[in-house]
Chains A and B, each alone.
Chain A
Amino acid sequence: MEPTTTPVSATQQVKEKVTMKDIEIKGMVSAHCIIAVSIVMATIVPAVLLDDFSVYGTHLVWLYICTAGVAAVNIAIYTVLGVSPPTKKNTLSHKVTKVSKSCLYFMFSCLLFHGIIVLYGAPLLESASETFSFAVLLSTFTTLRCLCILGPNGQAWIRVFSRNGAMSIWDTSLQITTASSVIGAWLGAFPIPLDWERPWQVWPISCTLGATLGFVAGLFIAPLWIHWHRKQLTYKSK
């Protein structure tokens, strides 16, 4: 009996997994759409409400609004979805430690990004606030999502960014969006030396725009890629 039943159950399991995955992917699509919309809104709404607002002219204002919007939406969505790893203790003090630890991680990642950006050639002293704002934006696109999905757990972060490290489709999407934001920011540095004298070549506008575009692209690529490869993607249980 056994040899006949096992494959059936196996295929059933696979089917269940696939349907599970489909549902999850749909959830991800909607979540990512909301985040993308929040970025668009952060660009449009202030333009309507505020006088003399423009992405280039008052870049820092746009940057802060965008950062705050993305951060709020991210936190809200992932709290609602509950993707973050289950915790054994659910006490208040535990939650407080977790939140404070997350804040610490976030601050640390901002400083780290700031350092890396300066090492990559950003001016050290002048326009330091711009550089730091850019670091905050980049942290929002990368670290904050890590915090939301993985929690403040450094080892899990290191694990996620290895080939076999993803344990759910959220991990895979995290890989994709993080990589695309960083690559976008990296590519954004390319037009700066050119002598076109466009308003968006001023530091750090091209980099922030590159990071944002990369992030949005990552948001759309991630579900598509997962959908495309859903047969190959097998996640080990935690």
Chain B
Amino acid sequence: MKRVPVLALVLWICLLFYVGIWIFLSGFLLVKVEVNRSSSCKDELFSKHDSSHTEHFCWSEPRFKRAVILIIDALQFDFARFDPEIKDPRHFQNKLGVLSEVVASRPAHARLYPFRADPPTTTMQRIKGFTTGSLPTFVDVCSNFGTNAIQEDNLIHQLGQNGKRVVFMGDDTWENLFPNQFHRSLPFPSFIVKDLHTVDNGILQHLYSTVESSDWDVVIAHFLGVDHCGHRYGPDHQAMADKLTQMDQVIRSVIERLQNDTLLVVLGDHGMTDTGDHGGDSQKETDAALFLYSPSALFTAGQEKALQEVVPQIDLVPTLAQLLGIPIPYSNIGKVMVELFALGSPEDQSAQERRQAEALWINANQVNSYLDTYSLANKDLSPVILAHLKDTFLLAAAEYKALFGVPLAGGPEHSSRVQALIATFQQYLNQVRETCQASWARFHPLRMVAGIAVLAAACALCFITSDFADVVGASYRRLLWIPVVCGAVAGGGVALWQFVTRSEVDVLSSLGMAALVSQLSFFWNFCRRKATRVFAHNPSDLLNAAADAAQHRPALTWPSVPLVIFFLRCASLFSDSYVVAEGRVATFLLSSLAIYIPVQLNWAGRLLLLFEAQKSTPTCLPPQPSTPAASSSYKKESLTLLGCTGFLVASLYASHSFHGCRDEQGGCEPSAFLTPLSGLRDIQLRNFRYLLSVSSIIAWVCLVRRWMRHYGNMNSKSPAVLVARFGLPLVAMFVCLYWAMSSAPYEGFGNLQEVVKLALLVFPRAVYVLFGLGVAVVCWDPLMVFLKTRKEPATSLLPPTYRASTGVSLQAELQHLIPHIYQRMRKSLRAGEREGAGREDDGQPTVEAYGLGTVYSAPLLLVLALLGLVLAMLHPEGLMLSFMLLLLQACAILHMHSAATSLSTPGSRAGCFSVSWFAVLMWGLAATQFFYSTGHLPTFPSIQWNSAFVGLSEVHAGHLAPALLVTLNTFSSQILFAVSCPLLLLWPLVCESTKAGKRGRRAGEGEDREEAVMEMRLRENPDRFSTALLQLGARYLFIHGAQLLASVCAAAILRRHLMVWKIFAPKLIFEASGFAVTSVCVLLGLALVMRVDSAVSDWFKRLIPDHSR
């Protein structure tokens, strides 16, 4: 048994996957840490260097008291431009005539700019962008995952802080982002993309009356019609022309109603492509329009340029803030639009410049303090660049103080210095934005491609390992250590080179290089190994190889139907509709696979359902079952298979009743079992539900114990058995008590409230402790075998009987234990006694070992039972039913697998431990399916946050333990199925016993026939055992890894898709974390089996000398 190489191989494969995921995500997900500080008017602009001089954010008089902000969703710049030379305008051209009319007629009052958004160009991200002045990324690491509300400082927050009354109307996304922050709010549903008019007409009903009234300071109106029109018809459609004409009218009407102290801002949050989509970073998607207008003069006359320079979207934030006289939001990195501050008489150049310099100075100060705070919180900005930026800022600050700190100086020299200072500030702010953009707002195509390459190679490697597990396992030195060494050398080389040339190390590139090189080296070595066929040196190896080749032929020609189903499963990850309906897709595919198995067996003539009468026509009977006994066992097996299939499909159907609901699924009701019991009003219903959960937990414990008792694992006094006897029921009891306590209403207890609180902490902790103890005990001594030695009378000529006879224990007798004898042990005993002993049995100690047949699966099952209870405790109480269903369904799959194995490979299967793709695929699909059936969804709001504090006091829990609990809760299905993965290998051997036993008994002469050695077969062939474990692990990882690869490719290919940040990216994150959890658990499961194996070896070593004396 090669333990370390197998584990090392699987671990290496896992690490390759991790590196691939990490590289891809670093190029795809742009991470930024949110700084939860907000500016206020009291923030001092001058830092400690100069305390004598204090100026504040709001020291100057605001230019405008009020503002009307009209957001026209997806207003591309081309829509807003007016070009009279176009003879035959397309539907989206030349419809917003008002903008250019006003710009032409009142150049000092209005201006139209191209307005460039940062990707991702989706509405919610953009709203975040032009209110916070920051670059929102997909994963804004913030303190609270559960809500969509913006945590960072933003314009709306500042407006509220400074007493401005904000009236909002339009897209209800705002209401989610800024809950309860508006003076008045009229949200309209944004979800129905087909609906062009509801939102706009709703706004128009209220807009004009609001503007005419005086009950507001800022009006925000967000029109969705243009965007929806683009999604539905594309830009070049009559409906778009109508919509833009309507918007033209709206802008005209608003302009008519404006007063002198009011600023009008018309902006598009993003553009759209020629097909009407948005989300990506092409110029048509990013370039929107920005139109500024005020009845009082905005600009210095005569300064308008023919071609307006592009305004980055975030620049609006400091500009608006300063125009309205509020502090710039803390996290803003935008640059103020200086031409708006060059006010005053055209002659007084220096006053204009002074105003501009002041605006920039305030802006630069705010950006500088933000960068200071941010670089403390996160290190993703390069320190070299940060230091450079700091230097620039300090120089400019000194210059500013020198110029304006002293009483007014004049002269041309002063003016040129001021101009240089303005340029320096602008340059500084531009550099800051570019630095942050490079770090936060751009996909890295190279990293994405590299990540996909590493992942694809890891999948291929996994597949090769699973199909040539014997080759890989036999020559692991060449196929594992050499690639690892090569990879380490390559990665180290890259790191060293980087260190030498640039004196900093990019971990990602060196890791990626290491992974790729080691994978290439593996493929190279594998091909050479295959080509040269090294094993030809040793004849026995050759035999093995030939046998393996024969066995592998069916495995190599992958059975087409699982391939098709698996392909469909992976392909479904490329469609948003299928990802939304994934729970049902997995169920559908799983039941298809389940039904296909009996059909396929029948097609191959292996399924014996033909009735007695049919035996007279042997032409259509398969030739294998000759004896009636074998035939009847075949029939039994076939019936088991059919029964399990039916049960599996029915339980798949039943598992639908535990599903949750996504936002995208219309008309879906989340399962009633997902509400915790404490949320139920009806006491009777609550009691009934509680009883239901308790009875299923009892059933869970009883089933596991019954199984162990049936296979004789409950007899000995070993600590593991004690865990099964007492630990398991105790854990179940504590879980039930915890549920009882948590579902009790607080008010009802009065004085006992403290007790309830204490109990809520104590019971889960007791469960954790018992679980930890149980697992530790099982790892320390995993044998659940009861050994009985007996001296046969010396004269006895009878062969030793291996039946459960008297004297075991009263309990064992009562429970009709079936002993399982390890026959080979007897032989090895003889061998231990040397050849001199001859063939006589007399005087030999006969050893009866109970539970040896399930020596591997019993501890695994025990750990799983404990784990399942702990995981169930983290869920709402009602989901215990789902866990029970999971157990039964897993059992059905295992039985189907073993029945199908024994039906399709009749006769001897000793030494052939290969687990078919069928079974592994079903196992993987079931893991996905139960992810949904435990009420989870791949979206962030649906994470069950309640589980974070089960058994933890909320005050001093820290971060690690809640995160662990939430992970356990979210991926409980993946964890259970991954840890129990080795059961797929063990179960056919376990099921072998009943058949063999019966066959033996019926034949009447148990001795000469093949004994049911069950899992001892594995011990007899340690090499094949480790090969089989390696193969199983690699296959299971391949199933999950290929799904991950599909998900990654979907996210990469569809990164411009409308739904990428809503569906594909969360799905990718859940898939990736699910894979990480799965792989760790697969490793743990394999390690547990190997620990049992080593314990069994020790046990035999102790046993044999003991008895041969």
Contact = CB atoms under 8 A, between A and B. Distances in A.
Interface of A: 116, 118-121, 155, 158-159, 161-165, 186, 189, 193-195, 236
Most B-side CB within 10 Å, residue of A159, A189, A193, A195: A193
A44 B581 CA distance: 36
B605 A163 contact: yes
B619 A236 contact: yes
Contact of B577 (A119, A186, A195): A195
A161 B619 contact: no
Interface stretch (B213-221, B373-381, B645-653): B645-653
Contacts of B649: 116, 119
A155 B614 CA distance: 7
B613 A121 contact: no
B603 A121 contact: no
Contacts of B609: 158
A162 B580 CA distance: 38
A165 B585 contact: no
A47 to B, nearest CB: 30
B591 interface: yes
Contacts of B577: 193-195
B619 A162 contact: no
Contact of A161 (B602, B650, B653): B602
B620 A164 contact: yes
B604 A121 contact: no
A215 B58 CA distance: 78
Contact of A194 (B575, B584, B650, B656): B575
B581 A162 contact: no
A202 to B, nearest CB: 14
Interface residues of B, number: 30
A165 B619 CA distance: 9
Contact of A120 (B576, B581, B591, B599): B591
A119 B652 contact: yes
A162 B591 contact: no
Interface in B605-637: 605, 609-611, 613-614, 619-620
A143 to B, nearest CB: 15
A199 to B, nearest CB: 15
Contacts of A119: 591, 649-650, 652-653
B715 interface: no
Report whether over half of chain B's contact residues are helix, strand or loop; otherwise say mixed.
helix
Contacts of A193: 577-578, 580-581, 584-585
Contacts of A186: 592
B588 interface: yes
Given A121-B584, A193-B578, A159 B620 contact: yes
Interface string B1055-1076: 0000000000000000000000
A130 B609 CA distance: 33
Report whether over half of chain A's contact residues are helix, strand or loop; otherwise say mixed.
loop
Contact of B610 (A118, A158, A164, A194): A158
A179 to B, nearest CB: 9
A195 B575 CA distance: 10
A155 B610 contact: yes
Nearest to B610: A155
A161 B604 CA distance: 9
A118 B652 CA distance: 11
A65 B614 CA distance: 39
Nearest to A158: B609
Contacts of A158: 602, 609-610
Given A121-B588, A164-B620, A193-B580, 18 more contacts: A116-B595, A119-B652, A120-B588, A120-B592, A121-B587, A121-B656, A155-B613, A159-B614, A161-B599, A161-B603, A162-B602, A162-B605, A163-B604, A163-B605, A189-B588, A193-B577, A193-B584, A195-B576
A162 B653 contact: no
Nearest first, the 7 closest Cβ-Cβ pairs linking A and B are A193-B581, A194-B577, A162-B605, A119-B653, A195-B577, A193-B577, A159-B620
Contacts of B588: 120-121, 189
Contacts of B602: 158, 161-162
Nearest to B619: A236
A159 B591 contact: no
A185 to B, nearest CB: 12
Interface of B: 575-578, 580-581, 584-585, 587-588, 591-592, 595, 599, 602-605, 609-611, 613-614, 619-620, 649-650, 652-653, 656
23 contacts: A116-B649, A119-B591, A119-B650, A121-B584, A121-B587, A121-B656, A155-B614, A161-B599, A161-B602, A161-B603, A162-B605, A163-B603, A163-B604, A164-B605, A165-B605, A165-B620, A186-B592, A189-B588, A193-B577, A193-B585, A194-B578, A195-B577, A236-B619
A88 to B, nearest CB: 15
Contacts of A236: 619
A117 to B, nearest CB: 11
A121 B587 CA distance: 8
A130 B327 CA distance: 63
A160 to B, nearest CB: 9
B599 A118 contact: no
Nearest to B653: A119
B595 to A, nearest CB: 8
A120 B585 CA distance: 10
A121 B657 CA distance: 12
Contacts of A163: 603-605
B564 to A, nearest CB: 10
A219 B576 CA distance: 36
A9 B620 CA distance: 27
Contacts of B656: 121
Contacts of B620: 159, 162, 164-165
B715 to A, nearest CB: 41
Nearest to A161: B602
A62 B614 CA distance: 41
Contacts of A118: 653
A159 B584 contact: no
Contacts of A121: 584, 587-588, 653, 656
A165 B605 CA distance: 9
Contacts of B581: 193
A161 B580 CA distance: 37
A189 B652 CA distance: 17
Nearest to A162: B605
Contacts of B580: 193
Most B-side CB within 10 Å, residue of A116, A121, A165: A121
Nearest to A124: B653
Nearest to A182: B599
Nearest to B664: A195
Nearest to B194: A197
A168 to B, nearest CB: 13
Nearest to B193: A195
A186 B565 CA distance: 12
A186 B611 CA distance: 30
B610 to A, nearest CB: 6
Contact of A162 (B587, B603, B611): B603
A167 B56 CA distance: 97
Contacts of A159: 610, 614, 620
A118 B650 CA distance: 10
A178 B948 CA distance: 52
Contacts of B592: 120, 186
A121 B583 CA distance: 11
A155 B656 CA distance: 35
A186 B589 CA distance: 10
Contacts of A155: 610-611, 613-614
A109 B587 CA distance: 23
A200 to B, nearest CB: 15
Most B-side CB within 10 Å, residue of A161, A164, A189, A236: A164
A162 B614 contact: no
Contacts of A161: 599, 602-603
A189 B578 CA distance: 12
Contacts of A116: 595, 649
A120 to B, nearest CB: 6
A176 B954 CA distance: 64
